[in-house]
Chains A and B, each alone.
Chain A
Amino acid sequence: MKEVLLEIINLKTFFYTSTGIVKAVDGVNLRIHKDEILGLVGESGCGKSMTAYSIIRLVPSPPGRIVEGKVLFEGEDLLKKSEREMRRIRGGKISMIFQDPTSSLNPVYKVGEQIFESIKLHQNLDRKTIKKRTLEMMEAVRIPEPEIRSEAYPHQFSGGMRQRVLIAMAVSCNPTLILADEPTTALDVTIQAQILELLGELREKLRTSILFITHDLGVVAEICDRVAVMYCGKIVEYASVVTLFKNPAHPYTKGLLAAVPKITGSGGKLPTIQGSVPVSTDISGCKFYSRCNQAKDICSENEPPSSEIDREHIVSCFLHN
């Protein structure tokens, strides 16, 4: 059994808007073990990104607020830390990779300076060593000719190269956890494969855990060890990648998997999950009730509890209760 690095217990992050309370993260329980990649999948707006933002306490506030829960990182509750301590953790022990590499870099500084800055923030080194480390990091993420490229501005880089820069910044301080918020969504497929390979490689080399947020199940199958499926702010299923793909338990997971086009498929219409994510801020019972094809009466009345149907396979659904 691997050691637990991050444990999220009953995390709730709500947004207080003029139209009511939006429960972006609604009682999430999650575990990330040492040097594993946990995939967090779900449709747009299901709270994946907000879970990540809640971990490093960057929920836009107001209107957002972490209402309750615990985020235990290496045994300490991050929600109890002071802002100053959090700043040391952000980019230090926990770093983040963003979805859109084009807008995530400061347009007025050279990329070398930006990597330099992220190292300087967290490590007490002299300029020469930092400079050397900057070039090493660029080498590590396979940016060719680091000496020359470090003098370029972000707009002179392609999308894939910019994402490499961001990854270099993220891993430059040897984080124990990387929160990757759809790092490949904005890239085209070939670049996507390269970035995934790079992340996998860095994980091996640096022994880092990654929380990999995505809505692409193909990507999950490729690099994740475990997967959590999120729906309407809740984790509906949690399992190892193999189990999830071979033996999905929640109707939502089944629906998602069925909706992935297959090369071996015989053509015809691709199955979809009917309806869309409910916008209502308060629904009693199972949030998936209105779209579920196996719904029973009890589903609309009570919230399904999570139950362990197999070792390390947790699902929240009355079908498995």
Chain B
Amino acid sequence: MNRTFLTILTKLALSWRALRKNRLATVGAYMVLTLVMIGILAPWLAPHDPIEQNLGKPRRPPSLEYPMGTDEFGRCILSRILYGSRISLTIGVTSIGMAMVVGVFLGLVAGYYGGLLDGFIMRIVDIMLAFPYFLLAIAIVILLGPGFFNIIITIAIYSVPTFTRVVRGLVLSQKQKEYIEAAKAFGENNSNIIFRYLLPNCIPSIIVYGTLRIGSAILVSSILGFLGLGITPPTPEWGVMLSSGRAYFRAAPHIVFFPGFAIMVAVLGFNLIGDGLRDVFDPRLREEVIK
């Protein structure tokens, strides 16, 4: 038990060290970590209730009482941004997580078996990719209706095809490798070859791609919010905040500046970390002491 715990600690430390080698990735990791901490600690950090309106103090510029000012209903923008990170992170991670599970599975199956099954899966993927990205998301969300859970489903559906395509490509190149042949010669069955040989060897690229997609998922959820199709007010969602502040852009630019900045930090953070993770997950690049 103690030994296992130590091994996990060592692995985490080594992964962290590998990530640290890439400066930009470190910056990205700190950005994401900060957002996660903010999300967790929001109730303690937020100076005000994020939903409570104070109609007597609308559109106040940043002050000591309201560090980021107030919006048109007199709500504390700082508090709303702090709570908003919970929503954005949850949407980003869960929607991409769901898309990853489905997309990776379809990609593995299509790439490994080939033939008719491959043709069938990939044609559906092609059809989905043939729609302009955003129109597809809007169409799905209109079909499902707005709401927190529906936004997650929408982004998940919208992200599945690209995952499938990426993973299928990875599988096609891994499939040619001699160790797959060797696995067959040792009598491994298909599901073992897919999940014990192909999947682990594709994981590094999948993780990198997934992390990059989390950034874009956050962006999509904000855009949907901005268009009034996403999370419904008064929930503090960054895109919704950006949208509602748009009308007062000249008079009170802080209402749009801070949510916009938060979106940028989140998207940039995930993109930077995605690139750095590639090194961490590749066992060949990992420095590791035997024993």
Contacts and interface: CB of A to CB of B under 8 A. Distances in A.
A95 interface: yes
A98 B291 contact: no
A90 B187 contact: yes
A57 to B, nearest CB: 10
Interface string A45-81: 0000000000010100000000000000000000000
Contacts of B201: 106-108
A301 to B, nearest CB: 40
B284 A155 contact: yes
Interface string A67-106: 0000000000000000000011111100110101001111
B178 A118 contact: no
Interface stretch (A22-30, A126-134, A145-153): A145-153
Interface string B272-291: 00000000000110001011
A106 B201 CA distance: 8
B110 to A, nearest CB: 17
A232 interface: no
A121 B179 contact: no
A156 interface: yes
Given A58-B185, A95-B185, A98-B181, A106 B197 contact: yes
B131 interface: no
A152 B182 contact: no
Given A104-B179, A107-B284, A153-B283, A96 B200 contact: no
A121 B291 contact: no
Contacts of B181: 58, 98, 104
Contacts of B118: none
Nearest to B177: A103
Contact of A148 (B186, B288, B290): B290
A166 interface: yes
Contacts of A16: none
Contact of B187 (A91, A103, A109, A152): A91
A122 interface: yes
Contact of B200 (A58, A90, A108, A118): A108
A121 B178 CA distance: 19
A169 interface: yes
Contacts of B186: 90-91, 95-96, 117-118, 121, 169
A92 B187 contact: yes
Given A100-B178, A107-B179, A156 B187 contact: no
Contact of A106 (B179, B187, B189, B203): B179
B212 to A, nearest CB: 22
Interface in B181-223: 181-189, 196-197, 200-201, 203
B189 A90 contact: no
B207 to A, nearest CB: 13
Contacts of A56: 185
Contacts of A92: 187
Contacts of A169: 186
Contacts of A118: 186
Nearest to B193: A106
A155 to B, nearest CB: 5
A103 B290 contact: no
Nearest to B186: A91
B182 A166 contact: yes
Contacts of B178: 98, 100, 103-104
Interface string B40-59: 00000000000000000000
Nearest to A172: B186
Interface string A231-260: 000000000000000000000000000000
A142 B54 CA distance: 79
A153 B289 CA distance: 11
A288 to B, nearest CB: 30
Closest 5 CB pairs of A and B: A91-B186, A91-B187, A90-B187, A96-B185, A103-B178
Interface of A: 56, 58, 87-92, 95-96, 98, 100, 103-109, 117-118, 121-122, 148-149, 151-153, 155-156, 166, 169
19 contacts: A58-B181, A58-B184, A58-B185, A87-B189, A88-B187, A91-B187, A96-B182, A98-B182, A98-B185, A103-B179, A104-B178, A106-B179, A106-B196, A107-B283, A108-B200, A108-B283, A153-B288, A156-B290, A166-B182
